[in-house]
Structure 1
Amino acid sequence: MIGEKSLGQWGKLAGIGLVIAAVAVAVVIFVARWIYDLSGVQNFMATYPGEYHLPDFVEDGFPAWARWTHFLNFFFMAMIIQSGLRVRQQQKPPAVWQPKKGGKKISIHLWLHTSLDLLWILNGVIFIVLLFISGHWARIVPTSWEVFPNMLTNMLQYASLQWPEENGWVNYNSLQQIMYFVIVFIAAPLAIISGLRMSEWWPKNATKLNKIYPAPVARKIHFPTMLFFVMFIVVHVFLVFATGMTKNLNHMFAGTPAEGWGGFFWMLGAVIVTVGVLFATRPLVLAPIASRFGQVSAR
């Protein structure tokens, strides 16, 4: 039994869900292709091809800082999601951590989750500072209202499987730009402020502040935000592979617009390192690291 249902019942529900999803996807593709071929829609897409010209100060390519912060963001996000799910599911922690100067004891998984949050935030701050210093910000911050009609063109192109012709080395399409803006400037801050509200750093005796921003509200924000990140990562990775794997991976991992397999092998190495660390984050490995910053005990 898993919850109130048996494994077989969950399997049947999953099967029904997959069939419904497959039918829904087929219907969306069929309707999108029909709309795509309409003459009025073709004229609209000719006017708004899916992207607009960036300001002249934006340089082509992805500098080293953008590629490294991109990898570290993926690395920390994978570990944060894993540790967050462990915190959510645990009933009895395998070990607890307490600050050296005393304080409330927390599970070692929560200590890891919180520590990773700090590193993820630091990486994000570095990324945003360099983003605006370099002028690279205009790649992910819309600078024209044309982004919205162009985004509609992109949505129709993706829904009809008529992948937009693009060159991410020079410019993102408008749907990509909007999604990256949402991830960096909306979803990430929501994850931070909701996580902070549920953390041990939040002032417990701030009555007025706690009334304005109660913990249940933060919980209702935090978990859906995590699901949004997961959904984004899945779709993002799928499109990277589906719209030109070697070209896209060379852009972000090898730092070159040239064709070749260099970016793929860099990506493969990044995935191997991340998966290896995910498997290594067990109490026996975490305890010696956590003990450098506090006291670790069995209970």
Structure 2
Amino acid sequence: MPAASAATEAKRYGRFTLRQWVGASVIGILAIIGAATIVVQLTRWFIGLDFMQDFMATYPGETHLPAGAPVGLPAWLGWQHFFNVFLMVLIIRSGLQVRLERRPAAYWTPRWSKGGAGKISLNAWFHQSLDILWLVNGVVFVVLLFATGQWMRVVPTSWEVVPNAISAGLQYASLDWPLEDGWVNYNSLQVLAYFATIFIAAPLAVLTGVRMSGLWPKGAARLNRVYPVEWARAVHFPVMLYFVGFIVVHVTLVLTTGALRNLNHIYTARDANDWIGFWLFVGSLVLIAAAWVAARPSLLAPIAGLFGRVGR
């Protein structure tokens, strides 16, 4: 009987059986829907109060751009956007692999290394190589941003951006979303989100990544005391989670606030409502998915071998 009972016992996936996982998922989804409904109703009640009506009228959710600010999005911004997303998705994937791997499929050692110095896993080499490409792409992006005046669209130029961002956030939370006209001007919450991503989160990712990489001078005792690797590790992973959250929210809003027009802004540099931008978006997803699948040791090892030694 004990053997029969063991044979008929439901298979577990982690701590729970499949039925338990399904039940927990249903309960979790219902709880999220219930919590979201409460937030929406409370927000609508709050912004319906007299003093909040005055606040929303004074701060509608966006600030005026400086004189001479460009209108529309240039083609280079679309290409930069694609390269950035392409690299970030692979960086997040490889970063999680480095964090979770126990027995690397292979190791990479620099050609100049003596005695195995600088030896890292193949996944770590891929992650750091992607980081370098992402950094180069980011530098080009920032240079073009300031050279073309596009910085005025993503850098706050007035303290009024703060109350307007609060107003925009309340409008999103009430599901009475602020009017979208990204071709001309972003709302203040978008401005703060883009500014934080470009000028705060990205530099933090670079500074902490360099500290954890083989590029950091291991023998610099004083420098290592000033900037311990533990600090970098404590910041690097939360920054990655921020980027994941930003991507999810960003894509959701792009698709739910006028998908065809928004995708044409990003992929065709046009203020149009046709399907060209949508199909380019789909094509970009196919390329990213193909790179995700292709990034295996069998493909990475020969490429890594061009820049160092690959082995066990």
Partner amino acid, structure 2, of 1:181: F
Looking at structure 2, the residues matched to 106 and 52 of structure 1 have their Cα atoms a distance apart, in angstroms, of 48
What is the aligned counterpart of 1:207 among 197, 217, 221? 221
Q: Which residue of 2 aligns with 1:89?
A: 100
| 5+ residue gaps, structure 1 | none
The match for 1:241 is: 255
Alpha-carbon displacement from aligned partner over 1:157-210 (angstroms, at most 9, x marks no partner): 100001111210000000000000000011111111111111111111222221
Task: Provide the residue aligned with 1:121 in structure 2.
Answer: 135
Choose which of 11, 31, 34 in structure 1 pairs with 2:42. Answer: 31
Quote the offset at 1:14 in angstroms. Answer: 4.7
Corresponding position: 1:268 with 2:285: no
Equivalent positions of 1:180-259 (< 5 A) are: 180-259=194-273
Q: CA separation in 2, counterparts of 1:169 and 1:51?
A: 14
User: Does residue 63 of structure 2 align to residue 52 of structure 1?
Assistant: yes
Q: Flag structure 2 segments of 5+ consecutive residues without an equivalent.
A: 1-11
State the alpha-carbon separation in 2 of the partners of residues 211 and 45 from structure 1. Answer: 49
Distance 1:202 1:13, change over 3 A: farther
What is the CA distance between 1:11 and its match in structure 2?
5.6
State the identity as a percent: 51
Structure 1 residue 62 corresponds to structure 2 residue 76:
no
Confirm or deny: 8 A CA contact 2:104 2:121 kept in the other structure.
Answer: yes
Q: Distance in 2 between matches of 1:28 and 1:188?
A: 31
1:184 maps to amino acid? I
How far, CA to CA, are the matches of 1:11 and 1:216 in structure 2?
Answer: 38
1:7-44: CA deviations, max 9, x gaps? 55666555544343322211111101112322322222
CA distance in 1, matches of 2:102, 2:25: 26
Structure index of larger Rg: 2
- In the superposition, the TM-score normalised over structure 1's length comes to 0.95
Answer yes or no: is the 8 Å Cα contact 2:71–2:184 preserved in 1: yes
Corresponding residue to 2:146 among 124, 128, 132: 132
Q: TM-score normalised to the size of structure 2?
A: 0.91
Retained in 1: the 8 A contact 2:75–2:268?
A: no
| Alpha-carbon distance, 1:109 to partner | 0.5
